[in-house]
Chains A and B, each alone.
Chain A
Amino acid sequence: MKDEIIIAGFGGQGVLSMGKILAYAALENDQEVTWMPSYGPEQRGGTANVTVILSDEPISSPVLSEYDTAVILNQQSLDKFESRVKPGGVLIYDPYDIHHAPTRTDIDVVAVPAMEATIAMGQAKAYNMILLGALLAKRPDVPVEAVVRGLKKALPERHHHLIPVNEQAIRKGMELVG
C-alpha cells in the first residue's frame, strides 16, 4: 500500500491538522509516513497545503510532482492541483464557493458538501474532520480506530474533550461519500 496525498486549502481551514491526524493514524497503524507542510506566512491566510505519504515501504521523496489523492478546500488549490492527480486517482473537493468545478474524467472526482454538513452540525471546527472522513471512505488507508487513536496524539490534552465531536464528524464525512 502506498498513498501519496495532497491536502490543500486556505490557511485556517485545518489543512495542516487534517494531515497531522492522518499521519498520527498511520503511526498508530505501524505504517511509514511523511508529513511535509507548506510553512510560513500562509499559515495565517492565503493558501496552505500539506503532502502526506502513507506506505508499507520506506518513503523516498517527501516532495512530489503528482498525487494519488487530492483533498481540495478552495478554488485556488483546485486550479493548482487538479492536473497533478495521477490518472485513476481520487480528487475530493467541497463544492462550497467553487466556481469552476473539476473537469477531469480520468480520475474519480468526489464532491463532498462538507461546509453544508458543518453548518448542519453546528460545529465549525469539525469541517476538516468531515473531509478526512470522506477521504477515509474513498481511501481506507488506515482504520477509523487508528484515526481516533491518532487524534489523541495529535491534539493537546486540553482539547481531548473534543475527540467525540471530531469522531462524529469523521463518520459524517464517511456517510456523505456513502
Chain B
Amino acid sequence: MKAEVKLMKGNEAIARAAIRYGADGYFGYPITPQSEVLETLEAEMPWETTGMVVLQAESEVASINMVYGGAAAGKAVMTSSSSPGVSLMQEGISYLAASELPALIVNVMRGGPGLGTIQPSQADYFQATKGGGHGDYHIIVLAPSTVQEMADFVALGFDLAFKYRTPAMIMADGVVGQMMEKVVLPEQRPRRTNEQIARECPWALTGKPDSRKPNIITSLELDSAIMEKNNERFQETYRRIQENEVRYEERFTDDAEYLIVAFGSVARICLKAIEDARKKGIKVGLIRPITLWPFPYKEIARVAEHTKGILCVELNAGQMVEDVRLAVGDKVPVRHFGRMGGIVPAPQEVLDALEHDFHINSL
C-alpha cells in the first residue's frame, strides 16, 4: 500500500506521531514556537480514539512532574516546550534521570538567554547535552533537521528511552518546528495494555501483586554508599548508550578538503552552502550529528583526518564547537560561525565564513 504523504509543520508532525506511536500521555504548557504541538493534540482529541491523555498543565514545572508520575507507572509520556520552559523543567529532568525513568521531552528552541525572542536558536546545546539539571547525568538528545525526522524521532525517542530507562529529548529549533514539508506518518500502534507494561517494565508502579516485592521509584538515597552504586549504574548505562546509539549523517565527505559540522535546520542551510561551494570548485563535506548526546566524536575524527579545516555552524555563540574540538584535538583547525538571538544565517553567509576563515580563494 502506498503511504499517504501529507504536508504539515514540524510541531504538528510531533503531535500526530505521538498519537500514532500509541503514547499514553502528553502534559504541556503553551509557548512559541512550539504551541502547535499542544494545539494539534487538542484538536485531534486522541483521548476519544487511542485513549491518550492530553492535558494543559498550569506550568512547565507541573508538566514535567506529571511526566514523572506517568513514567513511574511505566506509561509512554511526554512533554514539549521551548527554551525558557525547558529551563523550568530541569529539576524534574534530573529527577527522571536519577529515578531511571523513560520519558520524551521536546524542546523547540528559541533565542535566549532569559525570555529572549521567539525566533529560531540552538543556544540550549550545553543545557541539553551537558546535563541541564544538577548531578552527574546525561539524556539522549536527538536533533531533527526535517519535518519527517520530527515525526520519526518521536518513536525513536520513546524506544530509546524505554530501552535504557532514561529521558530522551528531541531538540529542534523554530525553523523545523514552524516549517511545513512533506511527511509520511507511521502506522497507528495500539497503546500498551497494563499487562504488557507489567511484563515489559517490571520496575514500574503497576499495583503490587503478592508475588513480588514493592517497586520503589525515588531519586532520594541518603546512604552515600548506595548512592555511589546508583551513580555507577547510571554511568554504565551512559557507556552503553555511547557505544551503541551514536547517529549521524555524512554528505560529500569522500573528497572533502573542508568539513562543516552542523545540526538541525542549520545543517540544511549548510548543505545549500556546500552545493554552492562545489559549483565554485571548493570541496566541502558535511557531518550532521543526529544524536547530540551521545556525540559522534570518532566519526568526526575519522572524516577530519583528510581535511584542511572544520567549520562548526550553529545558532549560538559556539557550543557544539567544543565537542568538535574534543573530537579532533589539534590535528585540524576548527572555527565557529554562528548567529544569535533568533537570527538565522542565509547559505551565502555560511560560504563567506568558510572562505574567510580558511583563506580560500575561490576560482
Interface residues of A (CB under 8 A from B): 20, 23-24, 27, 32-37, 39-40, 59-66, 153
Q: Which residue of B lies closest to A19 (CB)?
A: B180
CB pair B268 A36 closer than 8 Å: no
Nearest CB to that of B351 among chain A residues?
A65
B19 within 8 A of A: no
Q: Is the CB of B175 within 8 A of A65?
A: no
| A23-B180, A27-B182, A32-B182 known; A62 vs B348 contact (CB < 8 Å) | no
Not counting A33-B180, A35-B181, A62-B175, a sample of 13 additional A-B residue pairs whose C-beta atoms are within 8 angstroms of each other reads A33-B182, A35-B7, A35-B180, A36-B175, A40-B32, A61-B269, A61-B273, A63-B345, A63-B346, A64-B272, A64-B347, A66-B348, A153-B7
Chain A residue nearest in CB terms to B276 = A65
Q: Which residue in B7, B32, B119, B345 is a CB contact (below 8 Å) of A23?
A: B7
Bound CA–CA A23/B272 (angstroms): 20
Smallest CB–CB gap between A3 and chain B, Å? Answer: 15
Residues of A within 8 A of B273 (CB): 61
Contacts of A66 in B (CB 8 A): 348
| B347 close to A39 (CB less than 8 A) | no
Any chain A CB within 8 A of the CB of B5? yes
Q: Which residue of chain B has its CB nearest to the CB of A28?
A: B7
Contact present for B347 and A61 (CB under 8 Å): yes
A36-B179 CB under 8 A given contacts A23-B7, A61-B347, A63-B344: yes
The answer for the CA separation of A27 and B271 in the assembled complex, in Å, is: 23
Measured CB to CB, the closest approach of chain A to B130, in angstroms, equals 28
Pick the 3 closest A-B CB pairs, nearest first: A61-B272, A65-B346, A60-B271
Min CB distance A37 to B, Å, is: 6
Q: A23-B7, A39-B118 are in contact. Are A63 and B265 (CB under 8 A)?
A: yes
Q: Mark B304-337, 1 if CB is under 8 A from A, else 0.
A: 0000000000000000000000000000000000
Bound: A33/B285 CA distance, A: 24
Contact B181 A33 (CB under 8 A): yes
Bound complex: CA A37 to CA B345 (Å) = 15
Per the bound structure, the CA–CA distance linking A60 and B349 in Å amounts to: 16
List 15 interface pairs A-B (beta carbons < 8 Å), by A numbering: A23-B7, A33-B180, A33-B181, A34-B179, A36-B175, A39-B118, A39-B174, A40-B32, A40-B118, A60-B272, A61-B268, A61-B271, A61-B272, A63-B269, A64-B346
